[in-house]
Structure 1
């Protein structure tokens, strides 16, 4: 039996289905691997943007949640892929761009927007435990997707992220349409920059289909 997550990592990399929900440890490892691969893809895209930017325009922008805190095969795989990405933009281009002949949204900023259920800027107003998860309520100042929405929107995050989503904290969030996908958030000065690139990516995202997570 695999106990370090390597089998689940390979399943995510190969696009295989999740394990039997009855096998709780394997299902948890699969979900963790899927979350980390989503974050890895996002990091690769951001690295690609920096490499492709003109000299003097290479700012930094990453989602505000701490990343790559787990150790083991997945962290090693992430390090290898990021190192390969830094070796040349050609590798990054093939990994970080939407693929397929039918315009399916998989990766990249337009893909993130196409697969988003909610993109909003606001302030965390409250949170509550729901089993091992945390339901976060955001008081919204403005929506990007959908165009308009209620004064409050909510989403669910893993219990270990509860301290990050503290009441009173302003942030921009991207909530996937797929349950179980990580919520990307931007805080501080990154909020304005994130809103800018999200707004720029929104028109093209409307031409993409999003049928699968990641």
Structure 2
């Protein structure tokens, strides 16, 4: 796990602490910090699902019905001759409370998720992401506002192209190497073989991020794609898969890159 003058990438992602300005110029550190942000966001979402399920089980819990006792025979009353004498009182067994069983099960699930999740965070590194936002971005010829013909949400239109790049932690182009469903949530974990970095200038051969399953277009293995992920975000807010869209995105990105280097993201 990367550490830059006392600043740990994983710890900074977990505590959500702001990064010093000098650290943000370190491409390797920012790539690892981005991966940690994605993994932390994914873990939080899974724990939230478990917590919601636990709350639902508490609200719908019903007490276990008890069997009413038979009325006792008054003292002195004779037993009918045609009945056999009782063999004695039967032992009463109480079924475990259904709510208690549910609470125990979810408690074990929460602990297991935390252990597995933290182990997974420590073991994995690379640029990552989490929430879905947009499918593609296109630039205006004057101010290069982020937008797209096949976008479903995404980059704020008030940002100019240089401003968008300045406020992005990753802009890269490559081929989707793997798409894995994330257990427990309707998301895909995308592994991208990077062919070209735009921001930062260089990085690892592969980056990872997560996207919702219902985005359009949904990335698939083998797709050629250009993605942009904002600073402190877990997933892309722009991605393009059609070649003509990729060419258009590439053009405004290359044109805006020199201006973006002198801008501060606010």
TM score, norm. by length of structure 1 = 0.50
Deviation (angstroms), 1:122: 0.6
1:166 aligns with 2:220: yes
Matches within 5 A, 1:36-47: 46=139
Alpha-carbon distance change, 185 to 35 in structure 1, aligned in 2, over 3 angstroms: closer
| Structure 1 residue 35 displacement after superposition | 4.6
Gaps of 5+ in 1: 1-20, 25-31, 54-60, 69-94, 98-106
Structure with larger Rg = 2
Deviation by residue 1:44-75 (Cα, 9 ceiling, x = unmatched): xx5xx36x59xxxxxxx95464427xxxxxxx
Q: Which of residues 249, 253, 259 is equivalent to 1:194? A: 249
Could you say which structure has the higher helix fraction? 1
The question of 1:135 aligning with 2:189 is answered yes
User: In 1, distance between residues paired with 2:181 and 2:212?
Assistant: 10
Q: Which residue of 1 aligns with 2:170?
A: 118
Do 1:116 and 1:177's aligned partners in 2 also have CA atoms closer than 8 Å? Answer: yes
**Residues 176-203 of structure 1: CA distance to partner in whole angstroms, max 9, x if unpaired?**
2222454311222121221121011112
Q: Deviations over 1:66-109 (max 9, x none)?
A: 427xxxxxxxxxxxxxxxxxxxxxxxxxx955xxxxxxxxx121
Q: Tell me whether 126-135 or 109-118 shows the greater mean CA deviation.
A: 126-135
The aligned residue for residue 206 of structure 1 is 261
Specify every segment of 5 or more residues in structure 2 that has no aligned partner in the other structure, as ranges: 1-44, 53-130
Contact 2:181 2:188 in 1 (8 A): yes
Q: How does 1:44-193 map to 2 (within 5 A)?
A: 46=139, 49=140, 63=148, 65-67=150-152, 96-97=157-158, 107-130=159-182, 131-132=184-185, 133-161=187-215, 164-180=218-234, 182-187=236-241, 188-193=243-248
Contact 2:162/2:256 (8 A) holds in 1: yes
Distance 1:146 1:192, change over 3 A: same
The two structures, once aligned, show a CA RMSD in angstroms of 3.6
Secondary structure of the residue aligned to 1:160 is coil
Shift, 1:111, TM fit: 1.6
Cα distance change of structure 1 residues 162 and 65 upon mapping to structure 2, 3 Å threshold: closer
